[in-house]
Structure 1
């Protein structure tokens, strides 16, 4: 798939409907959260070079809502990520999931992860962090969000970004990173990884990881824990010994109900502990 030009991405970028093609078939365990009592749907976020699509969910009444950024997996802002934003809105949050790959390609239409990876590999961290700054700005100016109550959570690819954004924006009150990669080779597009920013982190981030995650070796989790001990952030990592990668993804075979529910409860308690 060719990279989308600036003009084209501004004109055609949209939020996916349903689940990403690459994750079919969908598990029977999938959780479905309705939009009753919410304002939920696609929006556009103004960014430096145009607009990016995002999915927003917020209680239908009220104002000054705590903000939570929901960061996508490698599969984009498909139905699972949209459902998570609605779960947050039911808890009283303004939840926003921006589509962070849109300039590089529409991953929702790709049928295999091998097609998706080259697209995602072209996404610069600097672009992502800038887009998230713009998303926060939109939340405060256009959607009754409370700038003093900002949280972030992300899954897989988004788990890594959660660590990085918490380091980038010290105004974040709390973060929860679900099985995000912690180490990696540096490049112009990915100059730092979570382990590189851990010792200087000031924002409290809770990491939720699986002991049987073949893509994130436990020795890298240990490295991250050791670096976090040097920080002032009170961040910590929980490892579920029997959980694989993507144990929160209820639409996939990797889903583990017990660990997913425990992690969701821990997330809520973590946010409340730090005033979000």
Structure 2
């Protein structure tokens, strides 16, 4: 895959009688491409996640970014501020497993309708949790999660009634996880639990830790952006999608 021209648009996807907006980014040239669903952070449909979708599309991928918060606050676009973070956490706590699974399933069907040669998911932070959970329940070829939180505890509805990590055995595709060693939200113990769960269940996986990186290191425009780690992660992600 190499950088190519892309087109973007907003589309509507029906989910159990409701309508969910999704941002679509795809190569401009006709053809069959891998399909990827992207799970956004607690900040919703922020410009950063849309830019990530466009970057993926330029590598030759059809990308959908569903509006996971649509039942409560459609097209939420929250600022990187304490207030935005608090509102994002409130919205995150409105999500449950059946609802998220229905949303991701509908996106996968849309990708297949667009002749995706394979289907996978990429998620960032809270969206990384969604991606990991979706991989335990759905036949994803690949899943990549950047600093996914709450996988080893029951602090949000998505990680109940049992921690999401306990469903690891259901994963059938390849898993790539990225973490920052300085991330206070996902400590070494949690990372070790994930490594053990994936290994014990013979999941094809790689867990990458950038020891000097904080949470959220991959998006430009933030104080915690670390370009050297972000670019390495992007290279690894593209190689995963190439396989």
TM-score clears 0.5: yes
Distance 1:113 1:187 in 2: 15
Match of 1:14 in 2: none
Match of 2:142 in 1: 174
Q: Between Structure 1 and Structure 2, how many residues are aligned?
A: 235
For residues 1-276 of structure 1, the aligned pairs below 5 Å read 37-106=5-74, 107-108=76-77, 111-141=83-113, 144-146=114-116, 148-170=117-139, 172-181=140-149, 182-185=151-154, 190-191=159-160, 192-273=162-243
Distance 1:137 1:174 in 2: 16
- Deviation string for 1:181-213 (max 9, x for gaps)? 121217765434442122443221111001000
2:200 counterpart SS class: coil
Distance 2:36 2:216 in 1: 20
2:104 counterpart SS class: helix
TM-score (norm 2): 0.90
The question of whether the paired residues in 2 share the 8 Å contact of 1:179 and 1:216 is answered with yes
The question of whether the paired residues in 1 share the 8 Å contact of 2:119 and 2:141 is answered with yes
The question of whether the paired residues in 1 share the 8 Å contact of 2:143 and 2:174 is answered with yes
Distance 1:36 1:235 in 2: 29
More deviation, 228-237/173-182: 228-237
CA RMSD after TM alignment: 2.0
Unaligned segments of structure 1, at least 5 residues: 1-34
Give every structure 1 segment of 4 or more consecutive aligned residues whose post-TM-superposition deviation is greater than 6 Å: none
Query: Structure 1 residues 61 and 218, CA, compared in 2 at 3 Å: closer, same or farther?
Result: same
TM-score (norm 1): 0.80
1:104 counterpart SS class: coil
Give how far 1:145 is off: 3.0
Distance 1:202 1:249 in 2: 28
Give how far 1:251 is off: 2.1
Query: Structure 1 residues 188 and 155, CA, compared in 2 at 3 Å: closer, same or farther?
Result: closer
Q: Which has the larger radius of gyration?
A: 1
Unaligned segments of structure 2, at least 5 residues: none
More deviation, 94-103/118-127: 118-127
Distance 1:209 1:161 in 2: 16
- Deviation string for 1:5-36 (max 9, x for gaps)? xxxxxxxxxxxxxxxxxxxxxxxxxxxxxx98
